[in-house]
Structure 1
Amino acid sequence: MSQAVAAAIALGATPAFAAQGDEESVSLQAVTVTATRRAESLQKVPVAVSVVDGEQLERDNRNGVASIVQQVPSLNFRTGASNKDTSLFIRGVGTISTSPGVEPTVATVIDGVVYGRPGQATLDLLDLERIEVLRGPQGTLFGKNASAGVLNIVTKAPTEEPHGYIDQSYYSGNESRTRFGIGGSLIPDTLKGSLTTLFGSYDGNVDNRANGHEVNGYNRKGVRGKLEFTPSDDLTLTLAADYMQSHDDAPNGVVSKALTPAFAGALAPVSASGHSRDIASDYRSHVEDINKGLSAQLDWNLGDYTLTSITAWRGWNNTQWQDGDRLATITSAFPGTEDKGDLSYDQYSQEVRLASPKGEFVEYVGGLFYMHGKDDETYRRTLVTPTGSQRGVADYTTTSDSYSAFGETTLNFTSRLRGIAGLRWTHDDLEYDHRRVSTSATTVSGIQPGTRSSGSVDEDGWSGRLGVQYDLSDDVMAYVTYSRGYKGPAYNVFFNMQPRDTDALKPETSNTWEAGIKASAWDNRLTTNLAVFHSEYDNYQANFFDTVANQVVTRLINAGSVSTEGVELDYALQATQNLKLSGALAYTRARIDQFSCPAGAAASCNVDGKTLPYSPDWKSYVRADYSIPLANGLDVELGTDYSWQSEVQYDISQNPDTTQGAYGIWNASIALADYTNGWRVALLGKNLADKSYSPMLASGSGYIYRAVPRDDERYFGVQLRKDF
């Protein structure tokens, strides 16, 4: 959320902000980003970027990608019973699919490593420095699956000075989070390292009335370590390893509306309502997830040039159990559906970049990229009836290889005027193999008969950027850019895959115009960043709700053409040495221009001109932070924030029952800190107005169900931190 929000968040992390002693010299803290693959001032990069501070996220009990959408108005998130089923949206555009044969529209990059599947990065993130949300196509420098934007996540680098900390938090609902970190020099001026651990648990805020258990919670533990080896002034090698194990027991949706009296009766003793936090389930929905990785980054200064190599491997294992019928009773009218899915995913990537020196007439970043991914899944579905059961098992493998060559150049025509030109060529190879066996030779509820298919496709795509950047003054920069986005071909590979799903989807492309202005005023005490954009997407890859084997499913198709346009404003004001105000506002008009109705669609296709799912027209975020220095060296820190969004539709078929009305969330905190002696204690309240809302609404067979967020009701917490 550009410097406005980044600066606001930085306030909460330091007691005195960027003051220079008297009120006239107070200024906002400078923010450096790597949105252009170089370390540059956020106010100077010709890209619309939102920046969120990692430490402040933990202080706000926002512990992963899903939780930052309240702070970044242009970002939205689709949740699910498993992190495997999640999706990110930027400026109204994203891909809703659990298929391993489709790329996410929004790329996730952590310390330079591209994550091939969106579910890999939606759990807790360890040792965060910051999250950069790059809005709009970023296909030139970030390449793979970046046709709508990028989450560029940066973790903390090891420091020379020895240090450590322990951070313990407790929240109502029996949520506990413990972080412990150590780091410092191992060999002076040559080797330094850091190690961070996390232990988190939460009982949940949903009750299973069938057995009295509390669900929608988690148990997580993880570790991240870094070693930074500097044998000379010109060479740095950074080795990183991370491991996160998670057990989540999110229910497979809470029924919010029964569409038939029969289903309402079967749901008893639970009554469906828009604010329900009760389920009645006889089959336990939960997820076991392991995410791990290794990377090596080499930075070599060749004179004034910098050569960077990033070699990485990531592994992901996910097993999910889901109660497909969402009932605790089994009758002939409502048979039980019990699902179990096993996923094993490995990816290998290599990127090499060369960056020219800054300050020359021609500045450039160029490189090569390769990524290989292989996904193996087994999905089992059991249909349980009063007279017996039927079973289907599908095994499917998806393999992808992506090759890219890219470069972006900045031409410094004058000290104020710059031109931008970038281009990327991508070649994608994608293949799948799918086999399903069934105990029934005919279709039964939720299970298609046995089948087998395989396929392969390869495509070449071009993406790039052209633009001009001009400094209107020393404190005001304006830019205009044109960006071409590309997302590779796809296959709709899933349990109930049918012959109609065996054709490859065409690549998705986008064309975006963006104009922006970034300004500082009042001796850098005020910043305002404004961006205006218009994007058009062709062969938009989207999920359309359909009925397969008498069950509602999402069917991946080339949905046609869509467009999104809007205005984004970020601002921050250091009003006094102790008071900081900040906020962001986004208007996003994301619409379906022409929808290509799939043959045999069960839902309405009359959606031209309607809104894209997970895209409210308006979102806003405001924050105030106030620090009170005490005479004894202590500081009292007060903070409050409020996020609001307008009505949002979650279903591309425009189901009126899957619309979430406008809502706002108010949070506040108070802390006492002694930074000289390295301790801080804080009290915080979340959703103080006790506003219930749904981050996801979807249709089932005869009902509507919703996801229940952590802050669906008011809750409180205490945080304690000691640095040593």
Structure 2
Amino acid sequence: MTRISTGLRRSLLAISASGLALAIAAPAFAQTASDEDSGDIIVTANRVEQNLQDVPIAVSAVSGDRLLDSGTNSLENIGDIVPSVTFRKGTTSANSAIVMRGVGTITFSVAAEPSVSTVVDGVVLSRSGQSFIDLVDIDRLEVLRGPQGTLFGKNASAGLINIISRGGTDTFEAEASAELYEGQEYRLRGSLSGPLGDSLSGRLTGFYGSYDGNIRNINPAVNSDVNGYEHYGLRAIVDYDNGTSKIRFIADYFRGNDDCCAEVTGVSRGATLDALLAIPGGNARGEDQRIVNHNLVTRTKDTQWSLTASGDFDVSDSHTLSLVAGYRSWENTEIREGDFLPRAVIGGGELHDRGTVNTDQYSFEARIASDPNEAFFYQAGAFIWYSHNTQLFRRSNIQCTLSSLPALPGGAIPCNTTVFDAANNTIFPTASSTSDVDSTNYALFTQATYRFSDQFSLTAGLRWTKDELSYTHTRAPGVDARTGLPATGAGVSGNPAGGLTTATPPGNGTNTSTGDSNNSNWSGRVSAQYEPSDDLMLYVSYTRGYKGPAFNVFFNHTAPTNAVAIDEETSDSYEIGLRSQFADIVTFNATAFQVTYDGFQANNFILLGTPPVLVSNLTNAGQVRSTGFEVDTVIEAAEGFTLRGSIAYADAKVRRFNPNPLTNAPSALNGTRLPLAPEWSWNVGADYETPIGDSMRFYANTSYSYTGSQFSDLGNAGPIDSYGIWNASIGISDADDNYRLSLMARNIGDTSYVLLNTSAGQRLHIPRDADRYFGIGLRVKMR
């Protein structure tokens, strides 16, 4: 398939439009926040509402209130609450990724999808980057660990994050909050909710946030803090519930403008370049570095908007029909400093990138479910999903081997970029690429549970999936931007996208490369569940996961080497788990797992172009395995006093690596750890609430999260030291909690750490929370 058919495109549009019309004509999926501390947590990990303690899946649920109290504003920080999740920070959200149990997909290609899927109000997101927006008006967030290839299915071979929004209310409510932190960081949020008519309610929420940044760029042309952000957005939800039918309609808009992420230099780059950078205190400060000298500010511009309609309809006394239709639009623009220097010099050229990704996706799902309270309970459904992705990318270099300009202090000789003569030998290698990708996914699925008794039940599920993927990639060989003559440089090759006819194997010699792939797969799940008492449940399960084929479609993509489809990734997961509650005060849940991935889609390296350029290349890297356990505990120690703790251990390693046969570039040895896969992660915390007289209440919260040592890249490259972060807050409110004033402290121990270490310390990502800072917040409610 080279393009989605006109008929299918019209069908998808018609289905989505029908779903939206249905949302307006009939009634909303009303989600209610659960009492997390009591253990009575309602989740939809099985696509129906169930108590978490009754679900035979490794799932962690976090209420929206807890996200607010912990200062978790996006999925980038979710690892502080759910230790089995780690985050890969890229220079732009389009290059960032979520890793679960040590497994995730890291790639720049727009024709590859994540191993950890994100679902927002029933709609599967096309790429990881779409999920890194502010978490606003969240009822709860569910982290489903391990393959979810039966009921969710769409490329969730390693796990899934399920986000459910807070809806309308039966009575009028208004809420506003303002937070101010050190470093000129502000966050403002406001919402209105209440009845709109008979059985009709709604919610309207707006938010704004800004931050100057935690890194200082001392370049005279910049001279300001960077790695900050400006975010704002609006969300509207309409719910209708007449008792037999529920409909929800959601429209939202998000805009982000981040001057992020400047990568600091944490090691010496040699005496000449160190003097050129002229960083106070020197370059070799490691993770304590907070200064850069860049003549281009790395930034990301993000725009997203979406429409979602979902409905649950009682079609009989025992069956419910569920429909979800969604459309999402995402535009991400990346401006990147790639040489990390203040100017081009001999031996240190300039490399600047600009790229824009546009994604439009449509999806529709229909599902029928029987009464989950009966001895035999089943679900069956159909799913269709389509996305169109484009990427425009341009790389601009400046480099020289001679210059007529005098040496700078320290010995660096700047390239002469204004006098263009052969003696100066300054060239401007540049190239642009255009990528166009269509992806279509169809699925049929079913799952059934039979309860042999009140204590024992079996569950089995099966999903058939078909993926169709096609791409067109256009890129001419590099040229000198000044003369138009052929020129190559750092990351700019002399090959066209179609490959050279003289290559082995030969390309087609044109500037265009195309390809398509069709693939189908069966995935599924079998589990047994035993409940010896009302407060204890044991389960064992086997799950087959699936992630569809991919292509390497990005700037330096060159056929035929990269034009071969990357095969599907499959996973086989075995779990044994325990869910328990004791004396109505202790909740203790534990899971042991082993997941083996075949055809693991990971970045290897390959040499491209003339002269050869070493680039990251997605391949079926071989077989990897993650083995470990997870424990979650909540203790109601006393009235108003709650203790909680979670621990995750994952031994995620390469079992059998397939090095790329076309190059002698580095590869991962068998037995090496996967990137961003700490063996140990854990957190502990406590919440305390008590009245002060008859008119006030006191609140206190503290937490400590630990992340073990890890590596940034496959092959044990880019080591990252372990670190622990201690956060706390205290607050007071009136007796009804209509007015609350809070004081917040982040990283109380002032522990510095990095999220990513590239090029042996020459490029380090330093997050906001790598320094201690304090804040104050005010929240006002009317109800």
TM-score, reference length from structure 1 = 0.93
2:378 is equivalent to residue 364 of structure 1: yes
Of 354-363 and 373-382, deviating more is 354-363
2:449 corresponds in structure 1 to: 410
In the TM superposition, residue 488 of structure 1 has moved relative to its aligned partner by 0.3
- Of the three residues 328, 341, 353, the one matched with 1:339 is 353
Q: State the match for 2:440 in structure 1.
A: 401
| Contact 1:430 1:458 (8 Å CA) reproduced | yes
Q: Does 1:487 align with 2:547?
A: yes
Secondary structure of the structure 1 residue equivalent to 2:157: coil
**Aligned residue for 2:619?**
557
Query: For residues 548 and 273 of structure 1, what CA distance do their matches in structure 2 show?
Result: 34
Number of aligned residue pairs: give it: 695
- C-alpha contact 1:552 1:699 (8 A) present in aligned 2: no
Letter aligned with residue 98 of structure 2: L
Using the TM superposition, give the Cα deviation of residue 343 of structure 1 relative to its aligned residue in structure 2, in angstroms.
1.3
Gap change, CA 1:671 and 1:334, over 3 Å in 2: same
Q: 1:203 matched to which residue of 2?
A: 212
Partner amino acid, structure 1, of 2:459: I
Residues 552, 243 of structure 1: alpha-carbon distance in 2 compared, 3 angstrom cutoff: farther
Q: Distance in 1 between matches of 2:713 and 2:301?
A: 28
Aligned twin of 1:289 = 302
Aligned to 1:697: 757
Give the Å deviation of 1:707: 0.9
Q: Does residue 218 in structure 1 map to residue 229 in structure 2? A: yes
Partner Cα separation in structure 2 for residue 593 and residue 698 of structure 1: 24
The equivalent position to 1:298 in structure 2, one of 311, 314, 325, is 311
Alignment of structure 1 residues 160-199 onto 2, 5 Å: 160-189=170-199, 191-199=200-208
1-structure distance, mates of 2:607, 2:727: 41
SS state at 2:129 partner = helix
- The superposition leaves residues 500-535 of structure 1 with CA deviations (integer Å, 9 ceiling, x where unpaired) of 11100010001010000000001x200100100011
Partner in structure 1 of residue 659 of structure 2 = 597
Q: How does 1:38-117 map to 2 (within 5 A)?
A: 38-117=48-127
Aligned pairs for 1:145-544 (under 5 A) are 145-189=155-199, 191-210=200-219, 211-230=222-241, 232-258=242-268, 260-269=270-279, 271-274=283-286, 275-303=288-316, 304-385=318-399, 386=415, 387-437=426-476, 438-439=478-479, 441=486, 443-449=488-494, 450-451=496-497, 452-499=512-559, 500-522=561-583, 524-544=584-604
Q: Distance in 2 between matches of 1:355 and 1:166?
A: 39
The answer to whether the 8 A contact 2:757-2:765 is kept is yes
- Cα-to-partner distance string for 1:254-309 (whole Å, 9 max, x where unaligned): 12224544543443335242121111100121111101100111211112211011
1:632, distance to aligned residue in structure 2 (A): 2.6
Residue 374 of structure 1, CA deviation: 0.4
What are the residue-to-residue correspondences of 1:659-674 with 2, within 5 Å?
A: 659-674=719-734
Task: Calculate percent identity across the aligned residue pairs.
Answer: 36
Q: Do the aligned residues in 2 keep the contact of 1:528 with 1:569 (CA within 8 Å)?
A: yes
Residue 648 to residue 601, structure 1, CA distance change in 2 (3 Å): farther
**1:620 corresponds to which of 676, 679, 682:** 682
Q: Which structure's CA Rg is the greater one? A: 2
Query: Which amino acid in 2 is paired with 1:309?
Result: L
Q: In structure 2, what residue type is equivalent to 1:111? A: D
CA deviation digits over 1:122-143, x for unaligned, max 9? 1212211111000000010111
| Residue type of the alignment partner of 2:475 | R
Distance of 2:556 and 2:769 partners within structure 1: 35
1:674–1:273 CA distance, 2 compared to 1 (3 A): same
CA deviation map 1:625-671 (0-9, x unaligned): 1122111331111111001122111111212xx11112111111111
Q: Distance in 2 between matches of 1:518 and 1:496?
A: 49
How far off its partner does 1:68 sit? 1.1
The CA deviation at 1:606 is 4.9
Matched, 1:37 2:47: yes
Structure 1 gaps, min length 5? 1-12, 19-26
State yes or no: 1:719 paired with 2:728: no
For the structure 1 residues 300 and 488, does the alpha-carbon distance in structure 2 shift closer, same or farther, using more than 3 Å as the test? same
Map of 1:121 onto structure 2: 131
SS class of match (2:638): coil
**Which residue type is aligned with residue 223 of structure 1?**
L
CA deviation after TM superposition for structure 1 residue 445, in Å: 1.9
Correspondence for 1:607:
669
Partner deviation per Cα, 1:50-107 (whole Å, 9 max, x = no partner): 1122233233322000111111111111011110011111111100012111110001
Task: Give the counterpart letter for 1:504 in structure 2.
Answer: A
Aligned to 1:588: 650
Q: Which residue of 2 aligns with 1:22?
A: none
Secondary structure of 2:109's counterpart equals coil
Deviation string 1:669-688 (CA, Å, 9 cap, x unpaired) is 11101252611010010000
The unaligned stretches of length 5 or more in structure 2 are 1-32, 400-414, 416-425, 480-484, 498-511
Q: 1:430–1:209: structure 2 CA closer, same or farther, 3 Å change rule?
A: same
| Separation (CA, whole Å) in 2 of partners of 1:554 and 1:87 | 16
**Greater strand share, structure number:** 1
User: 1:4 aligns to what?
Assistant: none
2:149 counterpart SS class: coil
- Structure-2 change in CA distance of 1:375 and 1:673 (3 Å): same
Tell whether the 8 Å contact from 2:64 to 2:137 is kept in structure 1 after alignment.
yes
Distance 2:710 2:188 in 1: 35
Counterpart AA for 1:396: S
The Cα of 1:252 is off from its aligned counterpart by 3.9
Shift of 1:551: 6.0
3-state SS of 2:564 partner? coil
Q: 1:654 to 1:526 in 2, by over 3 A?
A: same
- Please tell me whether the aligned partners of residues 454 and 502 of structure 1 are also in contact (alpha carbons under 8 angstroms): yes
Q: 2:313, 2:703 → 1: CA distance?
A: 43
Determine the C-alpha separation between the residues in 2 that align with 1:229 and 1:50.
Answer: 29
Classify the secondary structure of the residue corresponding to 1:109.
Answer: strand
Which residue in the other structure is 1:639 paired with?
Answer: 701
Query: Is the deviation greater in 232-241 or in 110-119?
Result: 232-241
Cα 1:217–1:552 change in 2 (3 A) is farther
Q: CA RMSD in A?
A: 1.7
**Partners of 1:83 and 1:123 within 8 A in 2:** no
Tell me the distance in 2 between the aligned counterparts of 1:62 and 1:359.
35
